Structure 1
Amino acid sequence: MTPKADAIRLNPDDNVVVALTNLKAGQKIGAVDAPLVQPVPRGHKIATRAISKGENVLRYGQIIGQAKADIAVGEHVHVHNLGVGEHTQDYAFGTAARPLPAPTDKRSFLGYHRADGQVGTRNYIGILTTVNCSGSVAKFIAEAAEKSGLLDDLPNVDGIVPIAHGTGCGMSGKGEGYDTLFRTIAGYARQPNFGGILLVGLGCEVMQLSALADGRPIRADGALRYMAIQNEGGTRATVARGLEELRGIAAIANRAERAPAPVSKLVVGMQCGGSDGLSGITANPALGAASDLVVRHGGTTILSETSEIYGAEHLLTRRAVSAEVGEKLVARVRWWEDYTSRNGGEMDNNPSPGNKRGGLTTILEKSLGAVAKSGTAPLTDVYLFGERIDKTGLVFMDSPGFDPCSVTGQIASGANLIVFTTGRGSVSGYMPTPCIKVASSSEMYARLEGDMDVNCGTIISGQDSIESKGGDLFELFLRVASGEKTKSEELGYGGVEFVPWQIGAVM
């Protein structure tokens, strides 16, 4: 990228450029053969030629919508004159699937090796709940453990994480909603970043302890114990028993020590939230370059947020390793079209107001930028929300675009590291899994430096290339996986970000 450029054309076929700084009305810039019609904020689009009403607008060489009115050269292109029209996709399954070259070196990180073959990047103890009714008791147990100094002499345990949520009852005991919640809680119970689990239920809920624990090998190390409040004799008795159980679990967890693990044991959940017009130019493609490095070393990266790849899914189906995998992705997109329709929504309810202020106009434009996180690797497989990932390489996990919910699914699926790109700024964390925050611009990074781990605005200034920034991210992955704390961990985030996806009626 040329240092100090006013705007950038992302593909020779594009009829818009993207402003890299705030531009004034009447200003003349190199990429446009006329003075600007009105002020254009950083990250927003400018027409490079006259565009007729109904004509396709192109960014990244792809259609991002149709002009709602005639657009003059030098005019600001945004929600007032650009919308989503009818669009079809050529899925061309597998036509662009190309294996990535093997790395020339072997890299590793220091992780916690689990009995089932997974490797944790953290060593927490989890107090999981089957239902909202046991959420307070889970927190009471964690508070009692902290007051008692239970972990004071256990240096290998990172802490105790109570996981409370708002569901588990008032729902059908079968079907899509139940299955999704079951996968989520069971996935957390075998999460490699937990060195042990205490599972707490009420007793009469729909999501029964017996269904989750009885006869199911959730943990191969035996560090899973469970109890129901109604069977223990109420709140105080359950807290006392819970504290006793935690002592035994903590002793097992403390035996774990960090040891070298290959990058093939790294499972990286990739997210973007609070995106802006620069996210698809800087942070997302830099993460894509880092994703390719993880895949080249035999690791796994997870792309998600199905509602935010809508309109760009054809770029992924082309990279599917088989037509079957490509069809699985298209099936999830069709499910979402039906899901939003029957619930009175629409797939173009994105971008959000913040996304639009940052320069994004249509879901097609947002999705094209979001897909850049996936790099160039072949798409190995497609999974349901919270489904255990059993393949390496780039995979896709179905989820909403709501970030806490999507990350919850990725962690349930086995992600031991989360990387989150953001253009407007995002403040959150996701215990037990560390989260790296990546800023799309230097301005936002400076404003929220206490929350951001990486600044990709240096790509705009010409200090870094996408490839070099991707390499920096990869190195940070290994350091964080080995124990280096992220900003969100230092701030103590992660206590309220467990958000299961609720599908179906609340009864």
Structure 2
Amino acid sequence: MNQNCLQIHPKDNIAVALRDIKKFSVLHINHIELEVKNDIRAKHKFALHDLKTGDEIIMYGVLVGVANQPISQGTAITVDNIGHAAGDYKPKQSTFVWNPPNINKWKNRAFMGYHRADGKVGTSNYWVVVPLTFCENNNLDIIKEAILEPLGYLPKRDFFINTKALVDSYKAGNSIQELLEKPIILDAEEMIENRVFPNVDGIKFLKHEGGCGGTREDAETLCNLLAGYITNPNVAGATILSLGCQNAQISMIREAISKRDPSFSKPIYILEQQQSKSVESFISESVKKTFMGMIEANTIEREPAPLSNLTVGLECGGSDGFSGISANPALGYASDILAALGGSPILAEFPELHGVEQDLINRCVSNKSAERFTSLIQTYSEKALNVGSSFEKNPSPGNIKDGLVTDAMKSAGAAKKGGTSPVTDVLDYTEPVTKPGLNLLCTPGNDVESTTALVGSGANIIVFTTGLGTPTGNPIAPVIKVSSNTSLAKKMKDIIDINAGTIISGEDSIETKGEEILEYIIQVASGKRVPKAVQLNQNDFIPWKRGISL
């Protein structure tokens, strides 16, 4: 890919600039010679042929837009000269035949994970504290303050801010100027981490704004999501806080847990504040029960597990014009290897599959799965239209600025994360993964809502591609960040783990970078590498209320 531009698919009538291209430059692209009519910034597209008003815009071999005015050959494609358009889709048309990648070098590999009684294997070992309603959030904060530091769970950062030094200087009578000049940054080495429970990776607090008000369906959905976290193999046990009168009742969370794991045996403590003597008593008991549970969680140690026990959430956010030709297809190749090994990659973000539905329908292993995918995405689209929105409103200002000018163009690149393997199952929001192979999960395109959902459905690790940079993490699943371009990897090296920009520069192929991603997944799953999102203590958790979120 070591050139100025790329025609991604032979059917495409637009190409993407891999570097800034000056006006009047003459380009040769697959037997086409053209003169560029205006400056084209890297990541943006330009016409390979003259286009008339109403002509279809084809990229990745699929419909991604329609010309709303004449566009001369060599002219930049923008929101001003094309509009959104996406291809129609029909029922599953034929039997899908897959040519899987060679897995010889991977089939005997293992990762070091935490084996659970239900047969699943975690990549981490966390205790979670879960409120059933937002009314318990203040108590959650008090418990968090009381327990994290004494047990040695300081955030894994390269530096810490020593605010106490400012307080001491202020009390000593130092001037404003002296306070401004006072060093308050401490190196991580100066903060001694002394964990009481070395086999427990941390205590995570799943703070949210739901559980009461709203609808009963909202409460049921929330309980299903929380049950997904409690039964996730990365969780050793849970402390559940209930007020008592909220919609999300204790019986509801018990039922949701039992539905996922009828033989559930993890330590779990459920406390109800309205049955307690006082706030002090309630919090004291919560801390004690959590401490008791962590003693049990600490007895679990990492042991070898086959790669088929990896359930990897495939996520993208802050995408750019390179995402669909570097980071996403590289992750897709890693996904294909994992699927061939019997693992379970999960592709979500249904608004960002708009325009590529037919390919995914055809890849479904059964008509039932194909029909379910069609039903879920149609229902989602209709709900968006009913509130005056639509999938075409999905691209963010940042997406558009960096070359993704229609939703179908963004979707065609985003879907590359799912590789080429068969779709073995289609899941609605909060439903757990039960089948190996590529799973489709109905979630919004919103980064945190989608990542939250992936883990709730069983992902024990997340790979998150980005072209613009985003600090998103998750409380219990390690999140690995892959940049689509080298500029981002250098500029935001504190959040990026892997640079796929080397595909754009020609240093790597999609296959070699995909193998690098899978190797990094194994290292993280074994506890040998710590992704930047974990180091930065990024614990983003936003349940979806099933309203319209793109």
Q: TM-score, normalised by structure 1?
A: 0.95
Partner of 2:538: 493
Residue 466, structure 1, aligned to residue 514, structure 2: no
Partner of 2:21: 23
SS of structure 2 residue aligned to 1:268? strand
Residue 425, structure 1, aligned to residue 427, structure 2: no
Partner of 2:526: 482
* Inter-CA distance 229–278: structure 2 relative to 1 (3 Å threshold): same
Equivalent position amino acid for 1:205 in 2: Q
1:253-272 matches, cutoff 5 A: 253-272=297-316
- Quote the offset at 1:26 in angstroms: 2.0
1:124-163 matches, cutoff 5 A: 124-149=126-151, 152-163=195-206
SS of structure 1 residue aligned to 2:371? helix
Q: Distance in 1 between matches of 2:252 and 2:451?
A: 24
Q: Distance in 1 between matches of 2:365 and 2:392?
A: 29
- Quote the offset at 1:258 in angstroms: 0.2
Select the residue among 355, 367, 377 that pairs with 1:333.
Answer: 377
- Quick check: 2:239–2:268 contact (8 Å CA) kept in 1? yes
SS of structure 2 residue aligned to 1:112? strand
Residue 278, structure 1, aligned to residue 322, structure 2: yes
For structure 1, list consecutive stretches of 5 or more residues without a partner in the other structure: none
- Quote the offset at 1:193 in angstroms: 0.9
- Quick check: 2:28–2:34 contact (8 Å CA) kept in 1? no
- Quote the offset at 1:324 in angstroms: 1.1
**Aligned residues with identical type, % of pairs:** 36
Deviations 1:153-182 (A, max 9, x none): 311011111111011110222x4x343222
- Quote the offset at 1:277 in angstroms: 0.9
* Inter-CA distance 393–99: structure 2 relative to 1 (3 Å threshold): farther
* Inter-CA distance 381–249: structure 2 relative to 1 (3 Å threshold): same
Equivalent position amino acid for 1:487 in 2: K
Residue 40, structure 1, aligned to residue 40, structure 2: yes
Equivalent position amino acid for 2:487 in 1: E
Q: Distance in 2 between matches of 1:216 and 1:451?
A: 34
Q: Distance in 1 between matches of 2:212 and 2:317?
A: 30
Deviations 1:367-407 (A, max 9, x none): 11111111111000100111111111000010000010011
Deviations 1:247-304 (A, max 9, x none): 2100110011000001111000000111111100000000000001111111000000
Equivalent position amino acid for 1:400 in 2: P
Select the residue among 104, 118, 124 that pairs with 2:120.
Answer: 118
- Quick check: 2:86–2:354 contact (8 Å CA) kept in 1? no
Equivalent position amino acid for 2:337 in 1: L
- Quote the offset at 1:99 in angstroms: 6.3
Q: TM-score, normalised by structure 2?
A: 0.88
Equivalent position amino acid for 1:286 in 2: A
Partner of 1:63: 63
SS of structure 1 residue aligned to 2:325? coil
Q: Distance in 2 between matches of 1:171 and 1:116?
A: 34
Select the residue among 214, 239, 255 that pairs with 1:198.
Answer: 239
Q: Distance in 2 between matches of 1:248 and 1:150?
A: 16
Q: Distance in 1 between matches of 2:312 and 2:225?
A: 17
- Quick check: 1:93–1:323 contact (8 Å CA) kept in 2? no
- Quote the offset at 1:315 in angstroms: 1.1
Partner of 1:79: 79
Partner of 2:181: none
Partner of 2:190: none
- Quote the offset at 1:36 in angstroms: 1.6
SS of structure 2 residue aligned to 1:280? helix
- Quote the offset at 1:341 in angstroms: 1.7
- Quote the offset at 1:210 in angstroms: 2.5
Q: Distance in 2 between matches of 1:411 and 1:213?
A: 19
SS of structure 2 residue aligned to 1:199? strand
Equivalent position amino acid for 1:135 in 2: N
Q: Distance in 2 between matches of 1:58 and 1:149?
A: 57
* Inter-CA distance 359–144: structure 2 relative to 1 (3 Å threshold): same
